[in-house]
Chains A and B, each alone.
Chain A
Amino acid sequence: MTTSIDVSLGQVAAALALVAVAAAISFWRRTDLERDIVVATVRSFVQLTAIGYAIKLIFEADTIWLVVALLSVMVFFGAITARSRAKRVPGAFWPLLIGLAIAAASTLGLVVALGIFEATPRYLVPVGGMMIGNAMTASAVALNRLGDEVAGSRPAIEATLALGATAREAAAPFVRRALRSGTIALIDSTKTTGLIFFPGTMVGMLLAGAEPTDAVRLQLILLYALLGSTAIAALVATGLAYRNFFTPAQQLRELG
């Protein structure tokens, strides 16, 4: 399945022509995004170049511990990023961190245990990065929704608590909706994959000269693994985070 392709910096520079088109459109139609386009272009260059060299080092060192360290850093920053989108959830960091860590560890563990990928940096780094990135988006969406649901349903939640229901029982409908909204985007895009868009891995492999059937099979493996990792991350994050809305005496906390 390994293929290789040489891409020169000149080719990358040539692609900047399309950035210039985007900036020109922004300038012409006064969307006032030229500055953001420049920042995005520079940041993507610096960040991807840096991570490219980091991955190169990790591939060459070929030790599992550097992989674990890199993925841990990604989980940490993923949790911080997701927290900024879940502002209405108190103490969202730990649920997100634990959710991302469990999602990454369990899905990577499973694909290795099932013999789908070898436990080498060449597989673990890119697959882990994809799992964490998608799990982050799913759990951020789920907690964002959970915060909105609880804020908008305080009377209903208290009415259920007043029946002597536990916090878990009173929050259950809202946790369910949050989990659903966190996972549904990937499920929907998986349904339409190949019809409306070509997923990135497949595009990359085709460009790199792989057989289309290989590209498709690898893409399917990744899509299926992503379904698992996003569901696990959103499940763990919502399952831990809802508790922060309640006191030990099963009361809905006053917030803000």
Chain B
Amino acid sequence: MLFELRDVILSRGDRRVLDAVSADVHEGATAIVGPSGSGKSTLLRLLDRLADPDAGTIAYRGRPLADYDPLGLRREVALVPQLPALLEGTVASNLSYAAGLAGKELDVGRCLGHAGLDPGFAERDVGKLSVGEQQRAMLARALAQEPRVLLLDEPTSALDHAARDAIEATLTRLRGELDISLVVVSHDPEQARRLAERAVRLQAGRVAACGALEEALA
């Protein structure tokens, strides 16, 4: 089992963002779906231990998240946020920073290719990329760490249809090539159908359904 969540509660001020969330996330590809404000992004952040729940437990591969060194965990479980946030500099310098943190050899061209960017992007200044290109550079940067799990928060929200199709094709191909598990947050059930075989459906911070894709989305 990739992640096991049990009675996870998280409040922000008076609001319960996550309310007694229990779910199993298997290896492979899982979609987290639900309307905006239902707690999807917050749940993803908890899986990367960028925040801790107020109550409840989360385990990764059978061990509580808190037992892992947070830095090592985040290099193995890579979160790609919804809004691109690259460091100043070139695409290549971002990739090399990420690879350096994870202690991995960097093959810039290969990472860019996985994210659907041609090698010419390596020396481009990140400030001069379109949002869609930045989103792909974020994916390439995450891949530079050779993670075992990718947590993707609305990976195509800023993209047009063609770019969205390209990213989705990339993600599907990556699963085959790199043996990576995916957890994809999406507000779009159709995208969930294209990318995942299982789903967790959230509604106002609670789990409305969890399991095989069609059952969970029904």
Contacts and interface: CB of A to CB of B under 8 A. Distances in A.
Contacts of A166: 71
A250 interface: yes
Nearest to B51: A251
Interface string B147-175: 00000000000000000000000000000
Interface stretch (B72-80, B105-113, B178-186, B207-215): B72-80
Contacts of B51: 251, 254
B48 A163 contact: no
Contact of B74 (A155, A161, A169, A173): A161
B145 interface: yes
Contacts of B80: 162
Interface residues of B, number: 31
A156 B85 contact: yes
A73 interface: no
A149 interface: no
B114 to A, nearest CB: 17
A69 interface: no
A46 B49 CA distance: 55
A22 B142 CA distance: 62
A164 B77 CA distance: 9
A159 interface: yes
B101 interface: yes
Interface string A148-179: 00000001101111111110010001000000
Nearest to A170: B87
A87 B216 CA distance: 46
A159 B137 CA distance: 13
Instruction: Give the residue among A164, A169, A251 with the most B Cβ atoms within 10 A.
Output: A164
A249 interface: yes
B52 interface: yes
Contacts of B78: 162-163
B141 interface: yes
A164 B101 contact: yes
Instruction: Give the residue among A162, A247, A250 with the most B Cβ atoms within 10 A.
Output: A162
Contacts of A250: 70-71
Contact of A251 (B49, B97, B98, B145): B49
Contact of B50 (A156, A162, A173): A162
A249 B101 contact: no
Contact of A163 (B12, B52, B101): B101
A163 B50 contact: no
B102 interface: yes
B85 A163 contact: no
Q: 4 shortest A-B CB distances, which residue pairs?
A: A159-B85, A164-B75, A156-B85, A164-B74
Given A162-B81, A251-B51, 9 more contacts: A155-B85, A156-B85, A158-B50, A163-B74, A163-B75, A163-B101, A169-B101, A247-B52, A254-B12
